[in-house]
Amino acid sequence: MSKPNVYAFIPARGGSKGIPRKNLADLAGKPLVAHTIAHAKASQWIDRVFVNSEDEEIRTVAAHYGADVISRPEEFFHDNSVQEVDRLLQWTIGELERQGHRIDIGVLLYSTSPLRQVETIDKAVSMVAEGGYDSVLSLFEDTTYLWRIDGETAAPTNYDPKTRGPRQKEHWNQWGENKAVYAFRRDLLMNTGCRLGGTIGYVEMPKWRSVDVDKPEDLELVRKLFEVRGLE
């Protein structure tokens, strides 16, 4: 069996609400987006790395750090919702295939997850390439007590306050999606419009590596983790 063609896709908009110019924000001496480019390029499975952006400066920075770049159409300028990212992935793969590329497996890597490890990417891809999975995502074990707010009242959603205790959490099977790694078969995405489907597998990540940089305090936390844990 020959090795599949594996392409990584990093969506990187120029506009962001929580942190202005987030993808270019400094993290340990490099722009935020550069860390995810480095993860993808270090993967044993990934053949090409594409950063998709409408922003010329981000495309220039991405190319400097070794990624291929592609301009996203205007219809994708302002929305990074799950559905729009999947549509953007479909458009990107279709555009590359029109240029003669052959893609078997896609890997979606958000630049907002700079604490992921290359091994996590490789494990996810190998599960699709060799393990019989159609798609794989990264998760972290979540033992949070969750509540639903309705006006000025609150109600628990995943536990009974009468029996709350550490022993109860030991029996939970509750996991959070951290948006760090997604691997999927090309045909799954193109035929269904969704990166997750079919037989879905997962790779586990520690909670501390699952920070998603969305707000200024997230970026400060990641900077501190890089400093304390000696990351680069």
Per-residue pLDDT of the chain (232 residues; tens, 9 = 90+): 689 999 999 999 888 888 999 999 999 999 999 999 999 999 999 999 999 999 999 999 999 999 999 988 777 655 555 678 999 999 999 999 999 999 999 999 999 999 999 999 999 999 999 999 999 999 999 988 889 999 999 999 888 888 876 556 566 788 999 999 999 999 999 999 999 999 999 999 999 999 999 999 999 999 999 999 999 8
List the chain domain ranges.
6-229
> Of the candidates 91, 81, 77, which has an alpha carbon nearest to the alpha carbon of residue 9?
91
Centre a 10 Å sphere on the Cβ of residue 136 and count the other Cβ atoms it contains. 25
Residue 13 known to be catalytic = no
177/205 Cα distance (integer angstroms) = 10
The catalytic residue among 164, 167, 185, 186 is: 164
pTM for the whole thing? 0.93
Q: Name the CATH architecture for the domain at 6-229.
A: Alpha-Beta Complex (3.90)
